């Protein structure tokens, strides 16, 4: 999951506004009220695009987990065994790894080609890779095609996230759209088994793929018609091309700055900077681990829930799929909590002695830490110690709902904090966090079967709760020593200098 703001999207250096040669016409906005500038669009236009983008994230993320309820039948058809290892999870592992590999390539593509073109082209490629998921005649085909499908979903989800930064120009304006995107991202992944359960129960596992083809195919014309280009650089680029067709030497500042820079150089820079930041920036490292474990746990539940509820209550895979709706309900409740978290953040401006009038970046973590302790860790403890056959199924389901609520607040807090702290380098910081989320989503669930079999339902979930608790407490150091940490980081120091310059210029 990548979120970038319009002023930091793409991790590029700030544009040099020096005047070019006299024979070159620089294309820019026709004043601050230019109606073509997405920041000046009407609220109706902005919300239409935001809702379309969030729904695209929700419905495509479903593809990752919707197949998990049918693993028993798939194993029988393709002669796959889970006796000693959960081989049936490989289709989800390959899907998540595809997302991790593709996520670092997204930002430069969108920067050079715009949002609409990348989005629609990726949607068509995605549909092409859904087809063999329904028609696969062997297990290898399923694994390979889902790798590329996961990569496409990573691009689609990130393109949707970029919409928020491109059309909403202030932090307050972005607060609800960002939280809406993240809840769509997480609920889309969590609701997969819930949607897949009735399809598998009343039709067959192949119909899970057929129905996806139907709704993805039906949605494409809607997005082709309604999904407008919203990246400012791309809109100005279209204007410049129209002027060049008239014989004028018109270029955007972005085209001038990027002259002679190949797409491969941009991609290489985009792929290496996140790795450097991950191993040199403590904030990126611990935030990445916290977010990755949180998202990975949601995917782990696609395995452990069936194991627990079938072991305790003799439930079928379909019934276990339905109960995962408790996670989705919790995630929706957590979305309400993110709105309160935003209020805490903006109210912190009155206490900021470093930059008076500006919110404190670490204030994004206040509710996230509390939710990590009570929601994530507390929910896992509830899930662990209510996993007894003599207790009703609703008891562990409440634990799942608590985890779902905590996950949304934690992931939203981390994303917002990293974007605020790293400013124009936020794309690289969040990009490596997304890669971590996909890696944990791919491999953490592979340990579920062995862990819950050997440790038992109670202690396996307790182990997860303790790890989550440790990760939730670590960011307290960011809150206490945030100013010192930002002063030592070369990336955050540059962001602070930019903020100081903006504060001085606004006086």
% of the chain with per-residue pLDDT over 70: 87
Amino acid 207: pLDDT: 93
Amino acid 500: pLDDT: 58
Task: Select from 494, 497, 477, 173 the least CA-distant residue to 354.
Answer: 497
Look at 280 and 427; give whichever has higher pLDDT. 280
The pLDDT of residue 18 is above 60: no
Q: Are residues 145 and 211 in the same domain?
A: yes
Of 205, 234, 261, at which residue does a domain stop?
261
CATH number of the CATH domain containing 379: 1.20.1250.20
User: Band of the pLDDT at 498, cuts 50, 70, 90?
Assistant: low
Q: Are residues 465 and 331 in the same domain?
A: yes
User: Band of the pLDDT at 502, cuts 50, 70, 90?
Assistant: low
Of 261, 283, 312, at which residue does a domain stop?
261
Tens digit of pLDDT for each residue in 291-344? Answer: 999 999 999 988 888 889 988 999 988 888 899 999 999 999 999 888 888 888
Q: Are residues 178 and 288 in the same domain?
A: no
Amino acid 118: pLDDT: 85
| Mean pLDDT within 142-155 | 91
Of 261, 282, 316, at which residue does a domain stop?
261
**DSSP H helical segments within 66-204, as ranges?**
71-78, 90-103, 106-113, 115-135, 139-167, 171-190, 192-202
User: Band of the pLDDT at 507, cuts 50, 70, 90?
Assistant: very low
| Mean pLDDT within 366-388 | 93
Amino acid 335: pLDDT: 92
Q: Are residues 64 and 143 in the same domain?
A: yes
- Which structural domain, as residue segments, surrounds residue 198? 24-261
User: Band of the pLDDT at 396, cuts 50, 70, 90?
Assistant: very high
User: Is there a contact between 223 and 63 (Cβ–Cβ < 8 Å)?
Assistant: no
Amino acid 7: pLDDT: 40
User: Band of the pLDDT at 415, cuts 50, 70, 90?
Assistant: confident
Tell me the β-bridge partners of 25.
250
Residue 350, Cβ density class (10 Å: 0-12 exposed, 13-18 middle, ≥19 buried): exposed
Question: Residue 11 falls within a domain, yes or no?
Answer: no
Here the tokens at position 434 are 């997304």
Look at 270 and 149; give whichever has higher pLDDT. 149
Q: Are residues 225 and 314 in the same domain?
A: no
| Number of domains within the chain | 2
Residue 358, Cβ density class (10 Å: 0-12 exposed, 13-18 middle, ≥19 buried): middle
Q: Are residues 351 and 439 in the same domain?
A: yes
Amino acid 114: pLDDT: 75
| Mean pLDDT within 248-256 | 75
Task: Select from 143, 142, 463 the least CA-distant residue to 300.
Answer: 463
β-pairing verdict for 25-27 and 250-252: parallel
Question: Residue 1 falls within a domain, yes or no?
Answer: no
Amino acid 293: pLDDT: 93
Q: Are residues 107 and 151 in the same domain?
A: yes
Going by C-beta distance under 8 Å and a sequence separation of 6 or more, which residues neighbour residue 388? 312
| Mean pLDDT within 259-278 | 70
The pLDDT of residue 20 is above 50: no
Question: Residue 16 falls within a domain, yes or no?
Answer: no
Tens digit of pLDDT for each residue in 279-291? Answer: 888 888 999 899 9
Q: Are residues 139 and 215 in the same domain?
A: yes
Question: Residue 12 falls within a domain, yes or no?
Answer: no
The pLDDT of residue 406 is above 80: yes
90-103 vs 426-443: helix crossing angle, rounded to 10: 170
Neighbours of 351 (CB within 10 A): 10
Here the tokens at position 199 are 């399809």
Here the tokens at position 504 are 């001085």
Per-residue 3-state assignment (H helix, E strand, C coil) for 39-78 = HHCCHHHHHHHHHHHHHHHHHHHHHHHCCHHHHHHHHHHH
Q: What is the dihedral of CA 439, 444, 446, 447, to 10 degrees?
A: 150
Going by C-beta distance under 8 Å and a sequence separation of 6 or more, which residues neighbour residue 293? 440, 444, 467, 468, 471
Handedness of CA 285, 290, 293, 294 (dihedral sign): negative
User: Band of the pLDDT at 257, cuts 50, 70, 90?
Assistant: low
In three-state secondary structure terms, 27 is strand
In three-state secondary structure terms, 250 is strand
| Mean pLDDT within 73-87 | 85
Question: Residue 464 falls within a domain, yes or no?
Answer: yes
Give the chain's mean pLDDT: 84
Amino acid 263: pLDDT: 60
Look at 13 and 294; give whichever has higher pLDDT. 294
Tens digit of pLDDT for each residue in 81-130? Answer: 887 788 888 898 999 988 888 776 665 556 566 788 888 999 999 999 99
Q: Are residues 254 and 277 in the same domain?
A: no
Look at 496 and 27; give whichever has higher pLDDT. 27
User: Band of the pLDDT at 15, cuts 50, 70, 90?
Assistant: very low
% of the chain with per-residue pLDDT over 90: 34
Question: Residue 267 falls within a domain, yes or no?
Answer: no
Question: Residue 201 falls within a domain, yes or no?
Answer: yes
User: Is there a contact between 400 and 383 (Cβ–Cβ < 8 Å)?
Assistant: yes
Amino acid 213: pLDDT: 93
Question: Residue 505 falls within a domain, yes or no?
Answer: no
The pLDDT of residue 481 is above 80: yes
Tell me the β-bridge partners of 27.
252
């Amino acid at each position: 999951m990548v979120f970038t703001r319009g002023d930091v999207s793409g991790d590029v250096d700030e544009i040099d506004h020096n005047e070019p040669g006299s024979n070159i016409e620089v294309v820019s906005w026709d004043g601050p009220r230019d109606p073509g500038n997405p920041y000046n669009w009407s609220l109706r236009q902005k919300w239409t695009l935001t809702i379309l983008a969030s729904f695209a994230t929700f419905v495509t993320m479903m593809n990752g987990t919707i197949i998990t309820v049918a693993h028993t039948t798939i194993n029988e058809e393709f002669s796959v065994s889970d006796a000693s290892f959960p081989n049936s999870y490989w289709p989800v592992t390959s899907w998540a790894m595809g997302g991790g590999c593709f996520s670092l390539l997204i930002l430069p593509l969108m920067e050079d080609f715009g949002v609409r073109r990348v989005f629609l082209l990726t949607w068509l490629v995605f549909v092409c890779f859904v087809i063999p998921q329904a028609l696969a005649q062997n297990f290898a085909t399923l694994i390979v095609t889902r790798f590329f499908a996961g990569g496409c979903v990573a691009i689609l989800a990130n393109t949707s996230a970029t919409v928020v930064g491109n059309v909403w120009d202030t932090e307050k304006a972005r607060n609800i759209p960002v939280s809406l995107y993240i809840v769509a991202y997480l609920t889309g992944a969590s609701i997969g088994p819930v949607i897949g359960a009735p399809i598998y129960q009343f039709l067959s596992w192949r119909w899970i793929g057929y129905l996806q083809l139907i709704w993805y195919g039906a949605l494409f014309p809607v997005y082709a018609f309604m999904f407008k280009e919203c990246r400012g650089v791309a809109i100005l680029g279209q204007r410049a091309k129209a002027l060049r067709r008239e014989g004028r030497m018109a270029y955007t500042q972005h085209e001038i700055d990027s002259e002679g820079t190949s797409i491969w150089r941009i991609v290489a820079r985009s792929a290496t900077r996140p790795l450097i930041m991950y191993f040199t920036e403590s904030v990126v490292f611990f935030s990445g681990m916290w977010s990755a474990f949180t998202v990975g746990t949601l995917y782990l539940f696609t395995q452990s829930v069936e194991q627990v509820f079938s072991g305790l209550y003799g439930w079928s895979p379909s019934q276990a799929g339905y109960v995962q709706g408790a996670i989705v309900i919790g995630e929706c409740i957590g979305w309400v909590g993110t709105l309160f978290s935003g209020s805490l953040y903006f109210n912190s401006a009155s206490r900021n002695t470093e930059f008076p009038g500006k919110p404190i970046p670490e204030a994004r973590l206040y509710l996230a830490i509390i939710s990590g302790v009570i929601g994530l860790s507390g929910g896992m403890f509830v899930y662990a110690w209510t996993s007894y056959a003599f207790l009703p199924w609703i008891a562990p389901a409440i634990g799942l709902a608590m985890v779902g609520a905590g996950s949304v607040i934690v992931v939203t807090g981390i994303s917002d904090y990293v974007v605020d702290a790293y400013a124009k380098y936020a794309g690289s910081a969040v990009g490596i966090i997304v890669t971590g989320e996909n890696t944990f989503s791919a491999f953490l669930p592979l340990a579920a079967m062995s862990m819950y079999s050997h440790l038992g339902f109670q202690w396996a979930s307790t182990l997860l709760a303790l790890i989550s608790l440790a990760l939730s407490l670590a960011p307290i150091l960011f809150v206490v020593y945030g100013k010192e940490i930002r002063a030592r980081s070369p990336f955050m120091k540059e962001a602070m200098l930019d903020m100081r310059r903006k504060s001085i210029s606004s006086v």
